[in-house]
Amino acid sequence: MLPKLGILAGGGKLPAHIIQACRDSGREYFVIAIEQQTDPDILINAPHAWVRLGAIGKAIEYLRNEKVEELVMIGPVHRPSLTTLRPDAWVTKRLAKIGLKALGDDGLLSFLIQEFELEGFRVIGPDVILTDLIAPEGVYGSISPDDMAMSDIKRGFDVAKGLGRLDVGQAAVVQQGLILAVEAIEGTDEMLKRAAGLNREGPGGVLVKVKKPEQEQRADLPTIGVSTVENAAQAGLRGIAIQAGHALVVDLSKVVRIADQKGLFITGIKINE
């Protein structure tokens, strides 16, 4: 019998996949929904409680009352400024401990996982549950990258890994060797909108997404889905490359179908950390 799972749900549809996986396996679960972050549609018929982002102490109280043993953190969370966060006592105490590490996403997530485990919970990665979403190696659809695209992919991986070492972002857009855009706090979809106005003549660019070299595997894995493909096509790109084994693909069959329709390649590539 699997232990009861606590789902710390950020935005998007990924938390819904965790909920469905629990239902399919008969596993008990409880969702912590974050105000102004979690999609309320995913919570229909799901046991849950709402908390604001700065009230982690309250979330822990709910999880203990529900006798949760394992936790999974899934879905993007848009970080507010410290002035709008309104941290509770639990958060305030730990922000004082972490100091400047709170300025970077990965440093903060790693620290939160450590603190949750000190509170007695076992934190697991979403890939442990959503094994069918882990990005496979190889070309996914009917279109393959050519030599120029592969060169752009290599360049993009180098740039994205450099960003990751600085705990900045996970993605970049490259066209004919030129860096059109890199991801920061705005996220991939907004970066793609920005890249749309920077295209050069000739073959379109590529989007690459990689795990940060020092990233905590149990949180914030690079993810693509249907919206990623649609936004990449609208931006004039010709393909997407992700790190095989260290990224998630939501609704793979639909992603491949739409990519083929729009003339984009999608490929998962193994890279050295």
Over residues 50-85, the pLDDT tens digits come to 998 888 889 999 999 999 999 999 988 776 655 666
Query: What are the structure tokens assigned to 259, written together?
Result: 């990519």
Q: Detail the DSSP E strand segments found in 48-160.
A: 48-51, 70-74, 122-124, 138-139
Please state which of the four CATH numbers 3.90.1180.10, 3.30.559.10, 3.40.50.2300, 3.40.50.20 is assigned to the domain occupying 5-129: 3.40.50.20
Q: What pLDDT score does 87 carry?
A: 72
Q: What is the pLDDT of residue 81?
A: 59
Asked whether residue 3 carries a pLDDT value surpassing 80, the answer given is yes
Q: What is the DSSP string of 18-47?
A: HHHHHHHHT--EEEEEETTTS-GGGGTT--
Residue-level pLDDT at 46: 96
The CATH 3.40.140.80 portion of the chain extends over 134-269
Which residue intervals of the chain bear CATH 3.40.50.20?
A: 5-129
Q: Which CATH number fits domain 134-269: 3.40.720.10, 1.10.580.10, 1.10.3720.10, 3.40.140.80?
A: 3.40.140.80
When pLDDT is cut at 50, 70 and 90, the band that residue 258 belongs to is very high
pLDDT 10s digits, 187-221: 899 999 999 889 888 899 999 999 887 766 777 78
Closest CA to 224 of 196, 195, 246: 246
The reported pLDDT for the residue numbered 36 is 87
Q: What is the mean pLDDT of residues 134-152?
A: 96
pLDDT value, residue 82? 57
